Structure 1
Amino acid sequence: MLIGEVSRRSGVSVRMLRHYDTLGLVVPTGRTTGGYREYSADDIRRLFHVECLRTLGLSLTDAKRALDEPGFAPATLVAELIGHTRARIRAEEELLARLLRVDASAPADWGDVLQVVSLLHALESDSGGHRQRAVLTRDESAPVPVAALVEALLAEDDPNVAGALQWALARADGHGLSELEAGLDSPDAEVRRRAITAIAAVPDADAARLLRRALDDPDTTIRGRAALALGSRGSADALPGLVDLVVEGRRDVEAAEVLGTLAGGPIAAEDVVSALEHRLGDAADGAARLRLAQALAEIPGRAARDVLDRLARDEDRTVALTATAIVRARGDGS
């Protein structure tokens, strides 16, 4: 079979067939009287084998060795090919992810594309300072790659960089909340903490929904952050979580201040006092009762005064003295 016919039947170009001949990879057995290459059935079979090996990613040199060296073991080479292929797939996936991030930012022109790519590249820096500066000095007129910012935030362990990313997301008009919500599903508590901190900074109604969801998180830190953020927004749903913070001594001063703001506003003062008083019965240690007394100092009205009067007779001297001082400071009992 002449080279042209072999090319048509095999799909391998004439130029490549000549290259195979030069390399000694597929050498036609005969020549016509006119000097043209003539391929035998065995030559065609070898060509088929070469093309099969090339589909596995083998180089021409490795394909020749595989066919010509009887002792050539395929296992090591195949393992290497698997490694190289996986690396190539990872690189392609990273490229695809970057392209999707650029596309999601809806760039208007190539200047926008360059701005987004520059930011994405900076977020991959090993330098926390470089990452932070890239976020804080970003051109405000350029599109925001929100998904990339959220991904960076959820993986960021430098508090300064995380703060910059939270600031950027808070200014994104509620965009990115769906990605942050996905962060709340992470099995890693630290990732969920980063997500809820960023959500708390977003002044958006949908953010409040996510904060309410986080009130049931198994992690106490996450529940506390959600309660403080919700309470600051005037949500009555935050009441149990805020009381927990007071009793447990975690950010109890902040929680007491928020409770004072809620009392008489979104929540009746009597309801806040009732929630605090209920926990007094469970607070065996004086330190917890002391924090509850200090929280009651923030609540206006007679109900808080009555509970403080009882605490002024508490068996723990520190609790009693503190409650007495609070009552005196309130003066008229309000």
Structure 2
Amino acid sequence: MPTLASYLTDPRPAVRLRAVMAAGTTPSTDELDVLVGQCAVEPDLQVREMLTWALVRLPADLVVPRLLDELDRPEAQARSQALHTLSKIRDGSVYPQVARLLGDVDPGVARTAWRAAVLLASEEAKPALARTLAVQLGHGDAETRLALSRALAGLGPDIASPVLAAAADHRNPDVREHAAETARLLGDPDAGSALASARARREVALGRTRSAKG
């Protein structure tokens, strides 16, 4: 009889999706390692989301330690998916481990860590988190900058406004511009799409994208 592990080797995403959905519908701790292991290699976004859903349905006291182990894996996807799943479980006790990845060498992992940290940080930890995130203002591509803006905005105006005000006077014009974009997003959450479009247009004009390079 086919097992979850065998279904997950199928090249068809639909087959893998159904297998993970079945695992989440009837949760079994015996499948924990298989589900976590697949997170590191699963190429399909929809299947990865279903993996997170299935893991969240298992006992948190077993899942959380297993996910924390993934944060030390060399594979960026393993770290990123573990962070994403931890953010869904919402166990604030893991915030220190999540915060270690705020400056991860992989931009995608760092972006996921920003989102997770905002959700998991205690009220006492949020001001320090805002200062840590603000150091990244003005850096990265359009996707990274928007992710950082959204993370800072997610901390709320009381926490984010002081660091944005300080960044508004920074000597680097990129930092000042990014701080202004973030302040705009803080006041209007729907501005994110407009900010992304404007940033993309500027990068194309400056020849920073593949399409501009030909």
What is aligned with 1:185?
72
CA distance in 2, matches of 1:272, 1:198: 29
8 A contact 2:80–2:109 mirrored in 1: yes
CA distance in 2, matches of 1:296, 1:162: 32
Q: Specify which of 48, 52, 71 is matched with residue 166 of structure 1.
A: 52
CA distance in 2, matches of 1:192, 1:170: 16
Return the offset for 1:130.
0.7
Classify the secondary structure of the residue corresponding to 1:168: helix
8 A contact 1:245–1:251 mirrored in 2: no
Cα RMSD, aligned residues only = 3.1
CA distance in 1, matches of 2:179, 2:162: 15
Return the offset for 1:168.
1.4
CA distance in 1, matches of 2:25, 2:103: 36
CA distance in 2, matches of 1:181, 1:240: 24
CA distance in 2, matches of 1:188, 1:254: 21
What is aligned with 1:147?
33
Return the offset for 1:268.
6.8
Matched, 1:247 2:138: yes
What is aligned with 2:63?
176
Return the offset for 1:159.
1.9
Query: Which deviations, in whole Å up to 9, do the C-alpha atoms of 1:128-149 show, x marking residues without a partner?
Result: 2211111113363442421211
CA distance in 2, matches of 1:164, 1:121: 17
CA distance in 1, matches of 2:81, 2:27: 25
Following TM superposition, where does structure 1 have runs of at least 4 consecutive aligned residues deviating by more than 6 angstroms? none
Task: Name structure 1 gaps, 5 residues minimum.
Answer: 1-113, 301-317, 319-334
What is aligned with 1:134?
19
- The residue type equivalent to 1:273 in the other structure is A
Moved more, 170-179 or 249-258: 249-258
Q: Specify which of 153, 162, 170 is matched with residue 270 of structure 1.
A: 162
More relative contact order, 1 or 2 (CA 8 Å, 6+ apart): 2
- 1:17-56 equivalences in 2 (<5 Å): none
Return the offset for 1:173.
4.0
8 A contact 2:40–2:75 mirrored in 1: no
Q: Specify which of 152, 163, 176 is matched with residue 259 of structure 1.
A: 152
Could you say if the C-alpha distance between residues 277 and 232 of structure 1 is closer, same or farther in structure 2, counting changes exceeding 3 Å?
Answer: farther
What is aligned with 1:84?
none
CA distance in 1, matches of 2:168, 2:78: 35
Could you say if the C-alpha distance between residues 269 and 284 of structure 1 is closer, same or farther in structure 2, counting changes exceeding 3 Å?
Answer: closer
CA distance in 2, matches of 1:200, 1:261: 14
The number of residue pairs the alignment matches comes to 180
8 A contact 1:120–1:148 mirrored in 2: yes
Query: Which deviations, in whole Å up to 9, do the C-alpha atoms of 1:104-138 show, x marking residues without a partner?
Result: xxxxxxxxxx8xx7323322323222111111133
CA distance in 2, matches of 1:200, 1:184: 13
Return the offset for 1:218.
2.7
Task: Name structure 2 gaps, 5 residues minimum.
Answer: 188-201, 203-214
Classify the secondary structure of the residue corresponding to 1:214: coil
What is aligned with 1:221?
108
- The residue type equivalent to 1:192 in the other structure is R
8 A contact 1:224–1:241 mirrored in 2: no
- 1:302-321 equivalences in 2 (<5 Å): none
CA distance in 2, matches of 1:126, 1:134: 13
Could you say if the C-alpha distance between residues 186 and 206 of structure 1 is closer, same or farther in structure 2, counting changes exceeding 3 Å?
Answer: same
What is aligned with 1:118?
3
Query: Which deviations, in whole Å up to 9, do the C-alpha atoms of 1:203-227 show, x marking residues without a partner?
Result: 2124423311212433233222211
Using the size of structure 1 for normalisation, the TM-score is: 0.46
